[in-house]
Structure formats: structure tokens, C-alpha cells
């Protein structure tokens, strides 16, 4: 059902990067298609966009969302679209995740020189990534790779492998979220989509969070039409694991939930891991249960990992 009587244009706050604007425009188009409401994108510069420092040095990926949330709370915009994995696990007073739309493939992807896959990269190959989680898991594979931290937007990272005009490449490969490459139309550059058995994704990777003010009933109702309940359940389970581990967004924690058909209907299958940043050790586990118990499943799995030494592994320095 469309709501042709909706006349006020919704102001959607977004980071100014190409990926953020693409994600936000996708949500804007979906809102218009589902409700008839017009949506205007409002670019907002965040602390994370201003700095070239590593994410861990900035205090975690929450630096990418603070300015958007401030604009929301100040009434400067009506909603914001976040990469869900960028959000701190604690709720923000006065704001609510009104919708979790359909989720992109959450796996990580390799873009390597000469079309190589991960197992074909020679020992000593330089592999760039911005996430401590990926650094830890790549090192744990024991392939002898030189894993280096990098920052920059998607095309900047890709350019360090493929160069620009045949020049400027200084890495043998980079590892990025497949979802971002998909949204930007760069899937053709992937040389391997990494199996979660090798590299488990970050909690909420590939998912978007559409946020608005808790008090804004009209916007909440409109955004609710984009909701994918299965995607939300998966994300809740993954982020509950992260929160119970009391780990920040930049910690070497991975979690991945999938919906599968069980004996009594749909069930969540949740996997999680904590890997020492030097790759020397890891703890992994899994749990299965009904979708309405997503948060409890995440807490239970995190408790198991804590019992097996997860805190000590998160404290390991490179």
C-alpha cells in the first residue's frame, strides 16, 4: 500500500563517501517505493571521515556515526542510514533502529593481483585490510602473509592492488567486505569470496541500520515497511555476542548467523570466534536456537567463549 498523502520530504543524514551515499540512496528509493514519501539526502562529515588514522587509534568505528546521531537528535535530519557493523553495541538514548532492510552477502572478499586466490599468494605477499579481526584471522591461517593495516575508501584500497593507469600498486591483495563491493558495482574485481570457515565475518557485516528518533512515530511507521525480520534476528544474535564479550567494534571478534530450517521451523545457526591479533591462538564456537531468542543465543555463545579464554586473546598485542 502506498501513502500518497505523505507530502513532507524526509531528510536522510548520510556520510559523504561514495559507499555511504550509495547505501543511503538505496534506502531512500526503497522508502519512496514503499510509502510514496520523498527523501532528500543530507551529507554529514564525521570524525572518522576527517582522520587518516587507523580505526583502532580513533577509538573504534563508532566515530563514523556520532555526527549522524547528533544531527538526528538535534532535528537536523529525520533518519540516518548506517553500516550496522559501525554502530556501538549500546543503544543510543532517544534513537531507535526502525528498520533492518534486506542484508547483502556478509562474507569478506579478496581482491588480489593476477587473479590469485588466497591460497595462491606466495609467502611474504602484502595483504592490506582495515580491520583487526581480518588481520588476526589472516595471520591465523599460517600462510606467511604480511598483513598490513590500511585506511581509505573502497576505490583507494582497490587502487593499492590494481594501481591507477598501471602505477601506484604497492600491495599484492586487499580484503574488504563483499557487501560494499556489491553496492558499488565492483563485484567483478573480486578474485575470491572468502569462506567463513577461513575468515568469519564481522558482527552485522553486510547489514544496514535505518535509525530515527524514538519520538518520531510517523517516520518510525514509514521505515518499518523496510524491515526484514530474519536479517534483524541474525544481526541481533551477532551483536549480542559482541556486546557480551564487552569488545569494541575494532576488536578481533567475528560472528555470523544464518537462518536455516530446523525440526520445528526456522532456526538461527550462530558461529563466533575470537582470535589473537598475532594469529597465535583462537577460540571458536557455535549455537543453534529459535529466532525470537537471538539475543539470548548470542549471550550464551559469548559466555562459552569467555570461559575458554576469549578475554586473554583480545588482550594479545601484535
Residue 141's H or E segment, with its range, is none
Q: Is the dihedral of CA 310, 315, 316, 317 positive or negative?
A: positive
Question: How far is residue 81's CA from residue 98's CA, in Å, rounded to a whole number?
Answer: 10
Cell of 153: 575508501
Question: How far is residue 245's CA from residue 243's CA, in Å, rounded to a whole number?
Answer: 5
Q: Are 245 and 274 in contact (CB under 8 A)?
A: yes
Which is it for strands 108-112 and 173-177: parallel, antiparallel or unpaired?
antiparallel
- The length of the chain is 318
Check 29, 49, 78, 86 and give the catalytic one.
86
**Residues in a beta bridge with 12:** 41, 79
Kindly give the residue spans of alpha helices, DSSP state H, lying in the chain.
Answer: 18-35, 47-50, 55-58, 66-73, 132-140, 154-162, 178-183, 217-223, 229-244, 294-307, 310-314
What are the angstrom distances between the C-alpha of 74 and each of 15, 28, 48?
17, 21, 20
Which is it for strands 126-129 and 146-149: parallel, antiparallel or unpaired?
parallel
Is 195 a residue of the active site? no
Q: Are 181 and 174 in contact (CB under 8 A)?
A: no
Residues with a known catalytic role: 86
Amino acid at each position: 500500500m502506498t501513502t500518497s498523502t505523505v507530502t513532507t520530504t524526509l531528510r536522510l543524514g548520510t556520510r559523504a563517501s561514495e559507499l555511504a551515499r550509495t547505501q543511503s540512496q538505496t534506502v531512500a528509493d526503497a522508502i519512496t517505493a514503499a510509502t510514496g514519501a520523498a527523501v532528500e539526502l543530507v551529507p554529514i562529515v564525521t570524525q572518522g571521515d576527517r582522520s587518516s588514522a587507523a580505526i583502532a587509534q580513533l577509538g573504534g568505528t563508532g566515530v563514523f556515526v556520532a555526527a549522524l546521531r547528533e544531527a538526528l537528535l538535534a532535528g537536523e535530519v529525520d533518519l540516518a542510514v548506517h553500516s550496522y557493523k559501525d554502530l556501538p553495541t549500546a543503544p543510543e538514548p532517544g534513537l531507535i533502529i526502525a528498520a533492518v532492510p534486506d542484508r547483502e552477502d556478509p562474507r569478506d572478499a579478496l581482491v588480489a593481483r593476477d587473479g590469485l586466490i588466497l591460497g595462491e599468494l606466495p609467502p611474504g605477499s602484502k595483504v592490506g585490510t582495515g580491520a583487526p579481526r581480518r588481520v588476526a584471522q589472516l595471520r591465523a591461517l599460517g600462510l606467511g602473509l604480511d598483513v598490513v593495516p590500511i585506511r581509505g575508501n573502497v576505490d583507494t584500497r582497490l587502487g593499492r592492488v590494481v594501481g591507477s593507469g598501471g602505477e601506484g600498486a604497492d600491495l599484492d591483495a586487499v580484503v574488504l567486505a563483499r557487501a560494499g563491493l556489491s553496492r558499488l558495482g565492483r563485484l567483478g574485481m573480486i578474485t575470491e569470496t572468502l569462506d567463513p570457515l577461513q575468515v568469519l565475518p564481522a558482527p552485522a557485516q553486510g547489514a544496514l541500520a535505518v535509525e530515527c528518533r524514538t519520538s518520531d512515530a510517523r517516520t518510525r511507521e514509514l521505515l518499518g515497511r523496510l524491515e526484514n525480520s530474519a536479517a534483524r534476528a541474525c544481526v541481533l544474535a551477532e551483536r549480542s555476542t559482541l556486546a557480551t564479550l564487552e569488545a569494541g567494534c575494532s576488536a578481533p571478534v567475528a560472528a555470523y548467523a544464518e537462518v536455516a530450517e530446523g525440526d520445528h521451523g526456522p532456526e538461527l545457526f550462530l558461529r563466533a570466534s575470537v582470535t589473537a591479533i598475532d594469529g597465535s591462538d583462537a577460540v571458536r564456537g557455535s549455537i543453534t536456537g529459535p529466532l525470537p531468542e537471538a539475543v539470548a543465543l548470542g549471550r550464551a555463545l559469548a559466555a562459552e567463549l569467555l570461559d575458554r579464554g576469549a578475554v586473554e586473546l583480545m588482550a594479545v598485542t601484535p
